[in-house]
Amino acid sequence: MTIADAPARLAAAADASLRWHPGSPYSLAQTLGILLRGAGDPTFSSRPDGLWTAFTTPAGPVTLHLTSAGGPGGVSSGADGAGEPHIDVQAWGAGSRAALDGVPRLLGAEDDWSGFDEEVFHATLPRMVRDARRRNPAVRLPSTGRMVDALVPTILEQKVTVLEARRGYRYLMYRFGSPAPGGTAVPSGLLVQPTPEEWLRIPSWEWHKAGVGPQRSATVMRALRSAVALERLAALPAAEAAAKMQVIPGIGVWTAAEVVQRTHGCPDSIAVGDYHLAGYVGAALTGRRTDDAGMLALLEPWTGHRQRVVRMIGLSGFRKPVFGPRMTIQDHRQH
């Protein structure tokens, strides 16, 4: 059995399957990459036969396997019998049907770049942004609609290094995550995030072992006591959902922005308060570092598409010069 035969073999073994047509060049890796919490995220697995992910739906857990006409994880510019690019998706588990219903949104079907690409608007963009968009026409902004799945790892990233946050997330996932449904058909080690009830049952010493300080673990607990209300925010506009999230103590502008970028595919959401972002955007657009207020002023002409601008700066290959000390990693396990 060759890799080329894998989609047909997996479709036959899956509980449900779907073929989605993006209607234009499409990149799985660029679109879904924002959802991964590092290369070692246990809820994702990138393999020669495609991209795998697992999560919980209201109907139960699911494993999804996704491949593009352009190759596993790559740009779909190939054609099926109708002459269109396509993404093949197979699903296993009780949540299969519910997950497939949400696949188009997950893959960015509702993400509309037409205003960004409109000639008059496009001409106002910095050259590096225009060039990056020209080279990356296949990127979309995904919408998972899963508030808790996005919120918990984002809270873990508050005021610590990405390295520390992802190490703690992996520890908690390996201790309390559940095996992805699908048995031997799915990659070993693929996990589903704990449900809100399972997160709430994690004892304090396990958070401590994960290197998650009491302030962040307490924020997770407060948020998940309102998990049902949180999940309802997926149906609201991104700005309204972000505002309502911030009613929960410990959830601020940065956390809410990081969440709605993933849950709503928000094209305008900017993570104000990020340790690196303002300096990066300032250096890219002016050659000088700036603060949050300066970043917002620089991006103001492109309001409505500010997240798209930031994504294109990232895809331009620009690297900010390194100034000053690195952020110190705090080891809460010693306290």
Categorize the per-residue pLDDT at 334 as very low, low, confident or very high, splitting at 50, 70 and 90. Answer: very low
Is pLDDT at 76 greater than 60 in this prediction? no
- Contact at 8 Å (CB) between 22 and 137? no
Residue 291 CB partners (closer than 8 Å, separation 6+): 278
What region, left, alpha or beta, does residue 2 occupy, with left being phi > 0 and alpha being psi -120 to 50 degrees? beta
- Residue 101: CB atoms within 10 Å: 12
Q: What is the pLDDT of residue 88?
A: 96
The pLDDT tens digits for 99-153 are 999 999 999 999 999 999 999 999 999 999 999 999 999 999 999 999 999 999 9
Distance, CA of 37 to CA of 28 (rounded, Å)? 16
Amino acid 320: pLDDT: 76
> What's the Cα-to-Cα distance from 93 to each of 41, 87, 129, 199, 227, rounded to whole Å?
20, 20, 41, 21, 22
> Token pair of 298, please?
């620089």
Q: List the domain boundaries for the chain.
A: 3-110
